[in-house]
Amino acid sequence: MHMAADVSKERKPSEVVAEMFATTHEREPEIKAYTTLFEDQAKEQAASVDAKLAKGEEIGLLEGIPMSIKDIILIEGTRTTASALMLEDYTAVYDATVTKKLKAAGVIFTGKTNLDEFAMGSSTENSAFAATRNPHDTERVPGGSSGGSAASVSAGMAAGSLGTDTGGSIRQPASLTGIVGMKPTYGRVSRFGVMAMASSLDQVGPFANTSLDAAYILKTIEGKDPMDATSVELSADQQLDFDKITSGDVSTLTVGLPKEYFIDGIAPEVRAAIDEVIEVYKKLGVTFKEISLPYSEYAIPTYYILMPAEVSTNLARFDGIRYGLSEFEKSEDLKQVYHESRTQGFGPESQRRIMLGTYVLSSGYYDAYYAKAKQVQALIRKDFQKAFEEVDAVLTPTSPHTAFKVGEKVNDPVSMYLEDIFTVATNIAGIPGMSVPAKTDNPLPIGFQLMTKHFDENTLFQLGHAYEQATK
């Protein structure tokens, strides 16, 4: 289902919602996209939008549209678990800003979606509750960490979703499940009420079936928020311009192909799909140019120092005293409360990253690791700044391969970390990135990634939309 304004007038929201829950009952036992479902509430809400339409009242663009939401984003009065035992029984006491904005727009929440615990992972197997499966092949992972969100949209259990992306957690699962997933420029969307993974890299963004739908969702959630000091007031030319996005004319654009990203490890079917995407754009008049992003090879090591440093700091709040799981009763002293609560409440990946992060921040190692990584971050950012002097966008694969089998990488953290090889640099540089499904005959979905300069989401959506129109 697509969100274009007239859809809800053609079909009653209650019919759409009923159909999506019918699909959910059929497929969810196998896919496990959700941690919580809001079926009754969603159906009631849909009925009230029906009533508005029956009276001939105008409704908003996203009003009555069923969307799922990653279970790391707070919805007041509902369980928010981050898919961690630590928060298994936690009920949110306020709405995230993005939640408030979707509520105000009349979006219907279908449920909260499963993720890798605290958004750490690339397969949604690190969830403390269940491993989500890929709707295209349930032997395979949907990607992660926002795998539940991606699977819910891909399986037709929601029309859109919100995820979070710290190193690729929206784009990679979108690629592996065959939908659009978009990470906005850092600061475009408020992080207030979104459980923090690595605060300087985290960004909330949309999943949808098309670039245009993703743009509608972004339009609804973006903007300066007094509750998040890193959120930014958008200037006139940074605001989404739907005339530009849908204009279809991309013939004046130049797109860069970074030679460092077209490496040997890319699966042949992915390489072939990207070549076909390039041909489609060439026919639309897009100019391609080889570019160089020389510091690319340092993106993964930089990310895996900065991210755990921030994770270890952010997860320190879960101490068994303030909220979340507490082993207070079983403990004899404060140290034991900390130890028991944290070893019970956190899974192996969280514990691994807390240790890694604590190490790189410790005195004596801080300069060698954390400070060095911050310097490399500046170089990676400069790489992109230089590239965007020559090109309007950069195109790469989103992931070097299609969805892998459940269990294939879960015991090999380093190979799981390499999943993010094409996506982490955008978070390190703070620029926007989007994964769009390539049209291919391949049985499993393949996504391509577009990136643009800071706050140039218009060009990103314009390119995505033009490709979708050309290959419809």
Q: How far is CA 348 from CA 84, 117, 222, in A?
A: 11, 10, 34
Q: Residue from 122, 210, 398, 435 that binds ligand GLN (CB under 6 A)? A: 122
Q: Binding segment for ligand GLN among 119-127, 273-281, 394-402, 462-470 (CB under 6 A)?
A: 119-127
169 as an active site residue: the answer is yes
Q: Which amino acid is at 39?
A: E
What order of strands is seen across the sheet that includes strand 34-37? 34-37, 108-113, 66-70, 160-165, 203-208, 180-183, 433-437, 447-451, 393-397, 254-258, 287-291
197 contacts ligand GLN (rule: CB under 6 A): yes
Integer Cα distance of 17 and 301 in angstroms: 44
Q: Taking CB under 6 A as the rule, does residue 145 contact ligand GLN?
A: yes
Q: What torsion, rounded to 10 degrees, do the Cα atoms 215, 184, 168, 370 define?
A: 180
For residue 256, the SS3 value is: strand
- Binding-site member from 168, 173, 400, 433 for ligand GLN (CB under 6 A): 168
Q: Residue length, the chain? A: 472
Binding positions for ligand GLN, 304-323, rule CB under 6 A: 307
Q: Which of 120, 180, 255, 286 binds ligand GLN (CB under 6 A)?
A: 120
3-state secondary structure of 288: strand
The answer to whether residues 216 and 107 touch, using CB atoms and an 8 Å cutoff, is no
| Residue 430 near ligand GLN by CB under 6 A | no
Q: Which of 163, 51, 68, 84 is nearest to 353 (CA)?
A: 84
CB of 435 to ligand GLN, least distance (A): 12
Given the complex with ligand GLN, which of 37 and 434 has the nearer CB atom?
434
DSSP string spanning 52-83?
A: HHHTT----TTTT-EEEEETTB--TTSB--TT
Stretch that binds ligand GLN, among 24-32, 55-63, 163-171, 381-389 (CB under 6 A): 163-171
Please tell me the distance from the alpha carbon of residue 372 to that of residue 298, in angstroms, as a whole number.
11
Stretch that binds ligand GLN, among 41-49, 79-87, 113-121, 256-264 (CB under 6 A): 113-121
Q: Which is nearer to ligand GLN, 392 or 420 (CB)?
A: 420
Q: Exactly one of 8, 145, 154, 399 is catalytic; which is it?
A: 145
**Beta carbon of residue 116, minimum distance to ligand GLN (angstroms, whole number):** 7
Catalytic residue among 8, 169, 190, 341: 169
Q: Which part of the chain contacts ligand GLN (CB under 6 A), choosing from 118-126, 128-136, 314-322, 396-404?
A: 118-126
Give bridge partners of residue 437 from the DSSP assignment: 447
Q: Is 169 in the site for ligand GLN (CB under 6 A)?
A: yes
CB closer to ligand GLN, 17 vs 315:
315
Considering the complex, state which of residue 120 and residue 463 has its C-beta at the smaller distance from ligand GLN.
120
Tokens standing for residue 121: 């992972």
User: Least separation, in Å, of the C-beta of 125 and ligand GLN?
Assistant: 11
Q: How far apart are the first and last CA of the chain?
A: 15
Among the listed ranges 114-122, 185-193, 251-259, 293-301, the one in contact with ligand GLN (CB under 6 A) is 114-122
**Minimum gap (Å) between residue 62 Cβ and ligand GLN:** 25
219 in catalytic set: no
| Phi-psi category of residue 391: left, alpha or beta, with phi > 0 → left and psi -120 to 50 → alpha | beta
Closest CA to 435 of 274, 272, 255: 274
Contact assessment for residue 108 and residue 338, using Cβ atoms and an 8 Å cutoff: no
Residue nearest to ligand GLN (CB): 169
166 is a site residue for ligand GLN (CB under 6 A): yes
Which position among 73, 107, 119, 291 is part of the footprint of ligand GLN (CB under 6 A)? 119
Q: Is 117 in the site for ligand GLN (CB under 6 A)?
A: no
Listed ranges 35-43, 102-110, 159-167, 340-348: which one lies at the site for ligand GLN (CB under 6 A): 159-167
121 is a site residue for ligand GLN (CB under 6 A): yes
Q: How far apart are CA 80 and CA 92, in angstroms?
A: 6
Told to judge if 145 belongs to the known catalytic residues of this protein, a careful annotator would answer: yes
Rounded-to-10 torsion of CA 54, 56, 58, 62: 20
- Contact set with ligand GLN (CB under 6 A): 119-122, 145, 164-169, 197, 307, 419-420
Catalytic machinery residues: 70, 145, 169
